[in-house]
Amino acid sequence: MRKRHFMVFQALLIVWLNTAAAIEAGSKPNILLILTDDHGYADVGFSKYASEDIQTPNLDKLAKNGVIFESAYVAHPFCGPSRAALMTGRYPHKIGSQFNLPAEGSDLGIDVNEQYISKTLQGAGYFTGAIGKWHLGHAPEFHPNARGFDEYYGFLGGGHRYFPEQYQPIYENLKKNGVQNINEYLKPLEYNGKEVRETEYITDALSREAVNFFNKAKDTDKPFFLYLAYNAPHSPLEATKEDLKRFSHIKDKKRRIYSAMVYAVDRGIARIVETLKANDQFEDTMIVFLSDNGGKLSLGGVNKPLKEGKGSAHEGGHRVPMMVHWPKAVKPGQTYTHPITAIDLYPTFVSLAGAKIPEDKILDGVDFSPFINTDISARPGKSVFVMRHRGGAHDVSVRRDQFKAVRTVKTKKWQLFDVTTDLGEKEDLSKKYPQLLEDMVNDMAYWSWTNVQPQWFHIHKEGDAWRKDAMPRFGETFTLEN
C-alpha cells in the first residue's frame, strides 16, 4: 500500500512538473483541430499498425515531432453524434443527439444552450473559424456563425460530392426544373451564409481556405482556433487523377480511391504547415488531428488490428488515429498509450486557453493537458462509454484502464477484453474477472440513468422502430447473464 501511495505521489509530481515547465496555463496558444471523416485506425502512416497502401508523409512528420495517441476514442461510432460531442464536450446521449440529423429539410440542431468550444474560446479572445463539414444543423440558430465561429467556409450537411465540375451542372439542372429538395451533397458551398461557386476539388478547397484563415488570423492580434473538418475520405469515393496515379498499384478500386483521398488531405497538411511557418504561427500552434469515427470497411477503410469498423461498439468503430503537435510545449517523439476521448478536448482547450465556461455548463470529459508530456493516464479508473442504438437494442462498450467490456446486438452478452494486448477483442476474459466486468457494467448502467431521449432520428423508419420497441429498454442491456 505504501508503495502505491509513493507511485501516486510520483505520478502527481511528474504531472505538476510538466504542467509548470512546459505548458503555461492561459498562455493562449493557437489551436488547430483537424478532423477527417471515416478515416481508419490503420490508415495513417504514423500508426504502428499503418497499412502499406497509405501515404501520409506530412502528418507522419507532425506525429513524429509530437505525441501519437494509440488509444484515442470518439464519443460515437458515426458522424453526427461524434461531432456534437466534440463541439459540446458532452456525450451525445446527454443532449439527445444520438442519431444523425435528418439529411434534408429539417430545422433541427444541437441545443443552443450547450455552449460550443468555439463560443467558449471566442469569449476568451480567440479568432475562430470552421471549415468543411458541419452536420450540426441547417437552421440559422445552429449555423457555425451563430455557434461561436467568426468565419465559416463549407457545407452544412453530412457530406458532399468532391468535383464542382460534376456536381454543379446536376445542381443547376435540378434547380432549373423547380426541384426544391435538392440533395445536400450537390448544393453550393458557402462562406458565412453566402453561396459560393467553388472551382477546386473539395479537399483542396478546404486546405486553401485553411491557409486563408491563418493569413487572416495573422492580421488580428488574437490567438486562433480553427476547426478544419475534411469530409475525406468519407463517401462518395472521388479522387483526382493525379492522386490516383500514385496508387495505381492497389488492385481494389475502392481502396485505391480511398488511399488517394487520404493523400489529398496530406497534401493539404503540407500547405498548412508551410503557411503556419511563414506566418510565424507554427511554434505556438497546437495541432490536434483525429478522425470522427472508424474507417468504413465496405468503402476502403482499414482499422486493423481492431475489430470491425464505422458504426461498431468494437474498437474499429470508435478508436481512431490521433496525434498532437505543438513545438512550444509538446516534446517530440512521444507515444501516449492510455485511453483518452474526444470529449476530453473541450476541457483541455479551456484549460490551455485560460477560458471560462458558463457556471451551469456540464463537461463529460477530463483536461488532459497536464499529462501530454507523460505516459500517465489522464483518466485512471474513469470509464469511456460508447452506446449505439440499434433497432430494439443497443451496442454498448465501456473502456476503463486496459480493459473493455462490450455487449452488442449480435453477441447479446457482455464480454471483457484487455485491449492493450488484445486489440482485436479475441480473448474473452469475462469468466476470469467476473467482478471487474460487473463493476464496469454497473458504471455504464449508472451513466445511462441520465441519458435523454433522442431529439431526432435521421430517418422516420428509425424513429418508428424506437417507439415501437418502447426504447431505450436499458434493463436488457445492463443485465449480466454471463
Residue 92 CA: distances (Å) to CA of 96, 197, 337, 450: 6, 34, 25, 12
**Least separation, in Å, of the C-beta of 234 and Ca ion?**
6
- Residue 392, Cβ neighbours under 10 Å: how many? 15
Which CB atom, from 15 or from 79, has the smaller least distance to Ca ion?
79
**Exposed/middle/buried for residue 443 (C-beta within 10 Å: 0-12, 13-18, 19+):** middle
Catalytic option among 39, 93, 135, 318:
135
Part in contact with Ca ion (CB under 5 A); list of ranges 9-17, 62-70, 75-83, 337-345: 75-83
Part in contact with Ca ion (CB under 5 A); list of ranges 58-66, 71-79, 258-266, 317-325: 71-79
Which CB atom, from 231 or from 334, has the smaller least distance to Ca ion?
231
Which CB atom, from 115 or from 293, has the smaller least distance to Ca ion?
293
Which CB atom, from 316 or from 347, has the smaller least distance to Ca ion?
316
Cα-based torsion angle of the residue sequence 467, 468, 469, 473 in order, rounded to the nearest 10 degrees: 30
**Least separation, in Å, of the C-beta of 310 and Ca ion?**
7
Part in contact with Ca ion (CB under 5 A); list of ranges 6-14, 78-86, 260-268, 382-390: 78-86
Please state whether beta strands 285-291 and 30-36 pair in parallel, antiparallel, or not at all (unpaired): parallel
Q: How far apart are CA 348 and CA 353, in angstroms?
A: 9
Q: How far apart are CA 443 and CA 324, in angstroms?
A: 30
**Least separation, in Å, of the C-beta of 113 and Ca ion?**
25
Q: Omega before 233 cis (within 30°)?
A: yes
Q: Do 344 and 378 touch, CB atoms closer than 8 A? A: yes
Is 79 a residue of the active site?
yes
Is 135 a residue of the active site?
yes
Q: How far apart are CA 362 and CA 359, in angstroms?
A: 8
Which CB atom, from 83 or from 143, has the smaller least distance to Ca ion?
83
- Closest CB to Ca ion: residue number: 79
Catalytic option among 76, 79, 325, 458:
79
Q: Classify the C-alpha dihedral 111-112-117-118 as positive or negative.
A: positive
Part in contact with Ca ion (CB under 5 A); list of ranges 109-117, 287-295, 358-366, 457-465: 287-295
Which CB atom, from 15 or from 342, has the smaller least distance to Ca ion?
342
Taking CB under 5 A as the criterion, the residue among 60, 204, 243, 292 binding Ca ion is 292
Which CB atom, from 66 or from 102, has the smaller least distance to Ca ion?
102
Q: Which three cell numbers stand for residue 51?
A: 497499412
Q: How far apart are CA 476 and CA 412, in angstroms?
A: 9
**Least separation, in Å, of the C-beta of 147 and Ca ion?**
20
**Least separation, in Å, of the C-beta of 75 and Ca ion?**
12
Assess 75 for contact with Ca ion (CB under 5 A).
Answer: no
Part in contact with Ca ion (CB under 5 A); list of ranges 153-161, 188-196, 293-301, 380-388: 293-301
Which CB atom, from 35 or from 67, has the smaller least distance to Ca ion?
35
**Least separation, in Å, of the C-beta of 379 and Ca ion?**
24
Taking CB under 5 A as the criterion, the residue among 72, 75, 79, 423 binding Ca ion is 79
Assess 293 for contact with Ca ion (CB under 5 A).
Answer: yes
**Least separation, in Å, of the C-beta of 82 and Ca ion?**
7
Assess 387 for contact with Ca ion (CB under 5 A).
Answer: no
Cα-based torsion angle of the residue sequence 66, 270, 188, 111 in order, rounded to the nearest 10 degrees: 10
Residue 232 CA: distances (Å) to CA of 39, 40, 164, 238: 8, 11, 15, 9
- Nearest by Cα to 463 from 102, 15, 142: 102
Q: For Cα atoms 192, 193, 199, give the angle at the middle one, nearest 5 degrees.
A: 80
- Nearest by Cα to 238 from 256, 220, 221: 256
Interaction pattern, residues 20-49, with Ca ion; x per rule: CB under 5 A: -----------------xx-----------
Helix crossing, 253-278 with 202-219: angle to 10°? 10
> Residue 359 carries which side chain, given as an amino acid letter?
E
Number of residues that bind Ca ion (CB under 5 A): 5
307: Cα within 13 Å, side-chain hemisphere: 15
**Least separation, in Å, of the C-beta of 38 and Ca ion?**
4
**Least separation, in Å, of the C-beta of 86 and Ca ion?**
11
Instruction: For residue 153, give the H/E element and its range.
Output: strand 151-155
Which CB atom, from 79 or from 121, has the smaller least distance to Ca ion?
79
Part in contact with Ca ion (CB under 5 A); list of ranges 154-162, 291-299, 361-369, 429-437: 291-299
Which residues have a catalytic role annotated?
79, 135
- The footprint of Ca ion (CB under 5 A) covers 37-38, 79, 292-293
